[in-house]
Amino acid sequence: VQIGKGPNAKDLKIEGVKDIIAVASGKGGVGKSTTAVNLAVSLAKKCQLKVGLLDADVYGPSIPLMMRLQGKPEVSTDKKMIPIENYGVRCMSMGSLVEEGAAIVWRGPMVMKALEQMTRGVNWGILDVLVVDMPPGTGDAQISISQRLQLSGAVIVSTPQDVALLDARRGIKMFSQVNVPILGVLENMSYFKCPNCKEPSYIFGKGGARKTAEEMGMQLLGEIPLEVDIRSSSDEGVPIVVSRPDSVVSKAYGDVAEKV
């Protein structure tokens, strides 16, 4: 993949889709998908937008579980797939197309072909915003997706841990190389509040993302704590902004949605 040599802009439009926002992280396991899901639902519910969610993490699709998507997408008369909707968000994921638990052992070109199907081969209807849960990392796949989807902007998710922040910096640099504006950095797993003594513990370090964002001239979009409810909601397929809409965390996700 050659940076800066993307296809023509006119080839890149997805019919009916106004803006495309990527949720990315340099490293896996930092809460990128959790963020993508809660951001997408907040954009739909709080900001009253028409929202789509594309799971571009083809090798490890987690959106069907987190959004409790059932069945396979139907195909419309124009031979396009119809996204599966839940919580007011129209979703498309490889996990809805293959058998549950199936291992996807494809090389890069196959993945890009699948993503092409999952974007332009989909009848999204009219969308204000399509949120893309990116695959983790900053390799060829991420660069290709950024170029082929003509992203309006990217949200970088990181924990406050040095190793995650180092990768987050790589992500920021990658997006700037392909001319995608960074909408901000979201710190996830910022602290854990002990349910007994209410004291916060900074398990992965304190204030790392704020510092990194400042150093790189980016805005910090928020600080999401490490919370059992965030994990259990995801596992149950009901995002925390749906299961506990009045919680501090849900408000924080709502603020992120308003900022982006």
Residues forming the site for ligand ADP (CB under 6 A): 25, 28-34, 62, 136, 188-189, 224, 226-227, 230-231, 234
User: Whole-number minimum distance, CB 27 to ligand ADP, in Å?
Assistant: 7
Strand order in the sheet with 84-86: 84-86, 89-93, 51-55, 127-133, 17-24, 153-158, 182-188, 220-224
How far apart are CB 60 and ligand ADP at their closest, in Å? 7
Nearer to ligand ADP, 33 or 93 (CB): 33
Q: In the bound complex, what is the minimum distance in angstroms from residue 133's beta carbon to ligand ADP? A: 7
Cβ closest to ligand ADP, residue 130 vs residue 186 = 186
Shorter beta-carbon distance to ligand ADP: residue 147 or 233: 233
DSSP per residue, 119-180:
HTTB---SEEEEEEEPPSSSSHHHHHHHHHTT-SEEEEEE-SSHHHHHHHHHHHHHHHHTTP
For the bound state, the minimum distance from the C-beta of residue 39 to ligand ADP, rounded and expressed in Å, comes to: 11
Q: What angle do CA 229, 233, 235 make, to 5 degrees?
A: 120
B/e letters for 36-59, b = 16+ CB within 10 Å, e = fewer, are bbbbbbbbbbbeebbbbbbbbbbe
Q: CB of 206: closest distance to ligand ADP in angstroms? A: 15
28 vs 125, beta carbon nearer ligand ADP? 28
Nearer to ligand ADP, 86 or 190 (CB): 190
